[in-house]
Chains A and B, each alone.
Chain A
Amino acid sequence: MEGILLAGFLAFLFVSVTAILFFGYKGIEEERAKKALETVEGWPDDLYVARFLSKSPKAEQDRVPEAQREAVRLRVQVHLDAEQRMVDEFVSQPTVENLYRRAGSK
């Protein structure tokens, strides 16, 4: 009688542990699949314009503050404006000196 109870208890224990491991594994796999799906579906629509550029996960987009992004954009714009002025001088007078003149110099 005691042997039967012990066997039953051990069987119950075995089934419980197996069920815990199985459902735990299933939960982890579902979580992984969900994250992979978010990576694909989270691409913002405004990247249609620059579709030749690769796309980044939504999580990465949220990490960069907009102010930082705008500050970099302004720096690039200032740099480009200065370069355009140098290049316009080169176009009106194409010389090696004008081509490689430092932006801001005369």
Chain B
Amino acid sequence: MDPEILKRAEIFETLEASQTARLIAVARPHRLERGECLFLLGDHADRLYVVLSGKMELSFPLMFGSAVREVAVESKTPVSVLGWSAFVKPYRFTLSARAVEPTELAGFPRNELQMVFESDPRIGYAFTRHVSEVVGRRLLQVQALWARELQRTVTSYMRDPGQAPPDPSPPSPQGR
């Protein structure tokens, strides 16, 4: 695990060298082969990850007929961070993460990071500020996607007032 790459991660950009070193000390290396899953939507989230090399893809499942397929929403390349859900209750991953190519990551366990934050609150503040920026950006994206989808539905109703509202749930099994 190359600490020089880690130091370029966005969560470390406002920290001093000594503070970055303390965080790097709790990092754990992870290696994934192409197609290997890091975590699934709904899994317990107990660590944050920084991509060191390769590429990760974030996705969520959709039903196509009766089969489930993952649809990609975001890619994570080196020095980007994923897994902020480890710091936001209920500590469950809200997307699935899979390696698009052989990938190396550094994993930061939440409990060990929290010990570092308690010993130096400035690190905790910088970290939390970054997490809130990520969460805020994701909220805006989802809000905009939802508004655009809702606008399409309204436009469709205006054209055909008798149209039934779209049902997002997949067809249920016969006899149930």
Contact = CB atoms under 8 A, between A and B. Distances in A.
Interface stretch (B103-111, B116-124, B140-148): B140-148
B17 interface: no
Interface stretch (A2-10, A23-31, A85-93): A85-93
A63 B171 CA distance: 14
A76 B62 contact: yes
Contact of A73 (B41, B64, B66, B174): B64
A84 B144 CA distance: 9
B137 interface: yes
Interface residues of A, number: 33
Which label, helix, strand, loop or mixed, suits the secondary structure of the A interface? helix
Q: How large is the interface on B (under 10, 10 to 19, 20 to 34, 35 or more residues)?
A: 20 to 34
A49 B176 CA distance: 21
A77 interface: yes
B68 A53 contact: yes
B137 A91 contact: yes
A53 B169 contact: yes
B170 A83 contact: no
Nearest to B60: A50
A97 interface: no
Interface stretch (B19-27, B48-56, B69-77): B69-77
A72 B172 contact: no
Contacts of A1: none
A56 B73 CA distance: 26
Interface string A33-70: 00010010000101101100111110011011000011
A80 interface: yes
Contact of B172 (A44, A54, A84): A54
A102 B60 CA distance: 24
A30 B176 CA distance: 20
Contact of B140 (A49, A57, A84, A91): A91
Given A49-B68, A87-B148, 14 more contacts: A39-B175, A49-B96, A50-B61, A53-B169, A53-B170, A54-B170, A54-B171, A56-B65, A56-B170, A56-B172, A64-B67, A69-B65, A77-B71, A84-B141
